[in-house]
């Protein structure tokens, strides 16, 4: 099939704040605002950004755990909103999710064997022998001993629990795994092992990943492309190497500059950008980054910068660094005070 595996078009999610009783308009939290991207088969797209920028909401929208306020999600060209029962079940086999906290996402009363085989048993009945064989195979794939299939989650280490969550996600042979902060709760050395496991599985099985993280060290290690989110919007989307070598958007630049110099024994690089993240209930007008941006001009306070292609093939939303043609003319006009030279 030609075209991307996953295509997201103008995805938007607003959460109403309260009931708005006696009020004409209900205030909303603008969690995700007009987000578009695509993911090719076998590709890793990382989504980064500060806490509250909408990363997990995008993941929930992709998995149809919440309904969008606007926009659509297409798998192999099919809009998932229009899927009926059987097609929806078939689609669910193709997309799986791995969560941040494996302990709370695994049933504590089930053995590893049951946890791993449960997704398959939702589709087909397995004999005892088949269940055993499947669990053993998947445990080996994620670097665990088959004997561990009899253990409960509480009898495993944090890293082993996350491997179990990955084995469960692999059980239906998915085309795409959405991993939301999948290694954030783990020790640094275990983080590196799990990341390398994901890279190996991708090579062996051609799985695509949407990998969500606020940790730039992790992102640089595994991403093919990176989408940077700020207050619900994608502000830059670029191949990983290009993004880290030469960020275009001032927010990406600030995130990378704020990350400490990497220590090869320590993968975790948590970036903090100066200034407060504004409220998603009442975001700043124009470019939402303008109150924190050293390059801001008047246009930034009034007009939302569109996400445009730059000469080197990335997308960026910045009036100064990636001006759209007509906006460039407007900017020139306002910078020269309307004088024609």
**Contacting residues toward ligand ATP, per CB under 6 A:** 15, 29, 31, 49, 51-57, 214, 280
Q: Which residues contact 204 (CB under 8 A, 6 or more apart)?
A: none
Q: Binders of ligand SF4: how many residues, by CB under 6 A?
A: 14
Alpha-carbon span 122 to 126, nearest angstrom: 10
Q: What do you get for the CA distance between the two ends of the chain, in Å?
A: 53
**CB-based burial of residue 25 (10 Å sphere; 0-12 exposed, 13-18 middle, 19+ buried)?**
exposed
Query: Which residues in 44-83 contact Mg ion (CB under 5 A)?
Result: 56
230-259: contacts with ligand SF4 (CB under 6 A): 249-250
Question: In the Cβ-directed half-sphere of 164, how many Cα atoms lie within 13 Å?
Answer: 33
Question: For ligand ATP, which is the closer residue by CB, 141 or 214?
Answer: 214
Q: Using CA atoms, how far apart are residues 30 and 65, in angstroms rounded to an integer?
A: 17
Distance CA 238, CA 312 (A): 9
214, interface contact from Mg ion, ligand ATP, ligand SF4, none, CB < 5-8 Å by kind: ligand ATP
Q: Segment contacting ligand SF4 (CB under 6 A): 13-21, 95-103, 263-271, 318-326? A: 318-326
Name which of 165 and 323 has its Cβ closer to Mg ion. Answer: 165
Q: Which does 250 bind (CB under 5 to 8 A by kind): Mg ion, ligand SF4, ligand ATP, none?
A: ligand SF4
Quote the CA–CA distance of 50 and 288 in Å, as a whole number. 14
For residue 289, state whether it binds ligand SF4 (rule: CB under 6 A): yes
Judged by beta carbon, residue 56 or residue 96, the one nearer Mg ion is 56
Residue whose CB is less far from ligand ATP, 15 or 244 = 15
Smaller CB separation from ligand SF4, 132 or 321: 321
Site string for Mg ion, 7-46 (x = CB under 5 A): ----------------------------------------
Q: Which of 239, 143, 118, 161 is nearest to 197 (CA)?
A: 143
Q: Which of 7, 53, 1 is nearest to 30 (CA)?
A: 53
Residue 126 is encoded by which pair of tokens?
Answer: 């397995």
Among 80, 135, 254, 293, binds ligand SF4 (CB under 6 A): 293
Q: Report the alpha-carbon distance of residue 305 to residue 316 in Å, rounded.
A: 9
Segment interacting with ligand SF4, rule: CB under 6 A, options 42-50, 154-162, 209-217, 290-298: 290-298
> Out of Mg ion, ligand SF4, ligand ATP, none, which partner does residue 280 contact, by CB within 5 to 8 A per kind?
ligand ATP
List all residues 6 or more positions away from 64 whose beta carbon is below 8 Å from its beta carbon: 73, 80, 81
**Alpha-carbon distance 202 to 196, whole Å?**
10
Cβ proximity to Mg ion: between 52 and 143 the closer is 52
CA–CA separation, 226 and 45 (whole Å): 6
User: Using CB under 6 A, which of 258, 296, 324, 327 touches ligand SF4?
Assistant: 296
Site for ligand SF4 (CB under 6 A): which residue of 164, 228, 287, 315?
287
Across the strands, what pairs with 7? Answer: 38, 74
By CB under 6 A, name the binding residues for ligand SF4.
Answer: 249-250, 287, 289-290, 293, 295-296, 300, 305, 318-321
By CB under 5 A, name the binding residues for Mg ion.
Answer: 56
């Amino acid at each position: 099939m030609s075209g991307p595996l996953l295509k997201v078009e103008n995805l938007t999610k607003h959460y109403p704040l309260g009931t708005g009783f006696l009020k004409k308009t209900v205030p909303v939290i603008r969690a995700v605002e007009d987000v578009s991207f695509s993911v090719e088969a076998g590709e890793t797209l990382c989504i980064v950004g500060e806490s509250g920028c909408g990363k997990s909401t995008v993941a929930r929208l992709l998995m149809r755990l919440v309904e969008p306020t606007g926009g659509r999600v297409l798998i192999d060209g099919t809009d998932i909103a229009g899927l009926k029962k059987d097609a929806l079940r078939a689609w669910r086999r193709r997309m799986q999710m791995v969560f941040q906290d494996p302990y709370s996402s695994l049933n504590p009363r089930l053995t590893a064997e049951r946890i791993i085989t449960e997704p398959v048993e939702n589709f087909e009945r397995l004999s005892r022998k088949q269940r055993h064989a499947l669990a053993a195979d998947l445990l080996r794939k994620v670097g665990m001993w088959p004997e561990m299939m009899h253990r409960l989650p509480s009898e495993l280490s944090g890293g082993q629990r996350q491997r179990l969550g990955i084995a469960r996600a692999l059980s239906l042979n998915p085309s795409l795994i959405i991993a939301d902060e999948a290694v954030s709760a783990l020790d640094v050395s275990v983080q590196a092992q799990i990341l390398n496991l994901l890279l190996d599985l991708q090579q062996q099985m051609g799985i695509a990943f949407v990998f969500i993280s606020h940790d730039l060290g992790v992102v640089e290690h595994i991403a093919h492309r990176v989408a940077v989110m700020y207050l619900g919007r994608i502000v830059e989307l670029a191949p990983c190497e290009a993004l880290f070598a030469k960020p275009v958007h001032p927010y990406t630049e600030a995130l990378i500059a704020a990350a400490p110099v990497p220590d090869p024994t320590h993968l975790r690089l948590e970036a903090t950008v100066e200034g407060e993240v504004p409220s998603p209930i009442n975001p700043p007008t124009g470019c939402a980054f303008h109150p924190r941006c050293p390059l801001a001009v008047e246009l930034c306070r009034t007009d939302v910068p569109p996400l445009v292609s730059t000469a080197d093939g990335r997308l960026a939303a910045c009036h100064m660094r990636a001006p759209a043609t007509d906006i460039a003319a407007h900017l020139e006009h306002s910078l020269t005070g309307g004088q024609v030279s």
